[in-house]
Amino acid sequence: MTAEVVDLEKLRRSCAQCSLHVLCLPAAIGGTDLQQLDEIVRNRRPLEPGESLFRAGHALSSLYVAREGAFKTIATNEEGEAQVIGFHLPGELMGLDALGSGHHACDAEALTRASVCEVPLAQLESICAKLPGLQHQLLRIIGQGINRDQAHMEMLGRRQAAERVALFLHGLSERYRLLGRSGEMFVLPMSREDIASFLGMVIETVSRTLTKMQEDGVIAVRGRQVTVLDAARLDAMVHGPAKPPAPGMKHRI
């Protein structure tokens, strides 16, 4: 009987823009294992801007990866006030907020026309049990999500608007680099209003701050396209001495 030939290159191409690019390929798993993992991933229909991927309270059944487009996550408090708590770029995992309780704590909404890969959790857990390398990679991705949450808290703790915006742009630049894209020139998939909500600011302050950074030669902004002109100055704005937060820490500028 002739052994079945696994087309690794075909599998790698099919996984190039999904979680398998981040999780599987660095794990150096074998062809049969990669094929098994590739088979459980479901390609969902495209989502239109503003369409929900999941909502707060929904039970966790799958993890998701933005294959194309971008998403935002939104939390709503008991008073009904909504705040953007995260942005997700192509290749990044979504749904990790529900791993603890089993239910989503936020809404996920498409910022642009987007498509996702859906990874059923039960099947992923089964495969991870057989592939320690994949399990380690998944833990690394979860750790990156925790780091982004910590960076968000750091942004909210900065008192100066310029520091918050610089941290935001610097973080996006680094994330685009991790995805193999340019960190010097990138498009903001989110609106100024979304950025303001995420940074705990008002939209007018966000616009003024971006304009000031452009006048100072740190960045160039054209519509939603941002070009980092002076990476050293942007880095200095991020890693300069942080001022202590005001009482209550979180406040809008």
Q: End of a domain among 145, 180, 210?
A: 145
20 and 100: one domain?
Answer: yes
pLDDT of residue 156: 66
82 and 166: one domain?
Answer: no
Local confidence band at 151 (pLDDT 50, 70, 90 cut-offs): low
pLDDT of residue 48: 95
Question: Higher pLDDT residue, 43 or 228?
Answer: 228
Residue 207 clears pLDDT 60, i.e. is over it: yes
pLDDT 10s digits, 30-86: 556 666 666 666 666 789 999 999 999 999 988 888 878 999 999 998 888 999 999
The answer as to whether 151 is a domain residue is no
Local confidence band at 18 (pLDDT 50, 70, 90 cut-offs): very low
Q: End of a domain among 145, 172, 205?
A: 145
Residue 103 clears pLDDT 80, i.e. is over it: yes
pLDDT of residue 94: 87
pLDDT of residue 238: 85
Q: Which domain holds residue 93?
A: 9-145
Question: Higher pLDDT residue, 126 or 26?
Answer: 126
Residue 138 clears pLDDT 90, i.e. is over it: no
Phi-psi bin for 175: left (phi > 0), alpha (psi -120 to 50), beta? alpha
92 and 204: one domain?
Answer: no
Overall pTM surpassing 0.85 (yes/no): no
The answer as to whether 65 is a domain residue is yes
216 and 187: one domain?
Answer: yes
How many domains is the chain built from? 2
pLDDT of residue 104: 93
Residue 184 clears pLDDT 90, i.e. is over it: yes
- Interstrand relation of 71-76 and 115-120 (parallel, antiparallel or unpaired): unpaired
The answer as to whether 154 is a domain residue is no
Cβ partners under 8 Å of residue 166, min gap 6: 213, 218, 234, 237, 238
Local confidence band at 228 (pLDDT 50, 70, 90 cut-offs): very high
52 and 164: one domain?
Answer: no
The Cβ-side half-sphere exposure at 142, using a 13 Å CA radius, reads 13
The answer as to whether 152 is a domain residue is no
The CATH number of the domain holding residue 13 is: 2.60.120.10
For residue 108, list its beta bridge partners: 54, 73
Per the CB < 8 A criterion, the answer to whether 29 and 131 are in contact is: yes
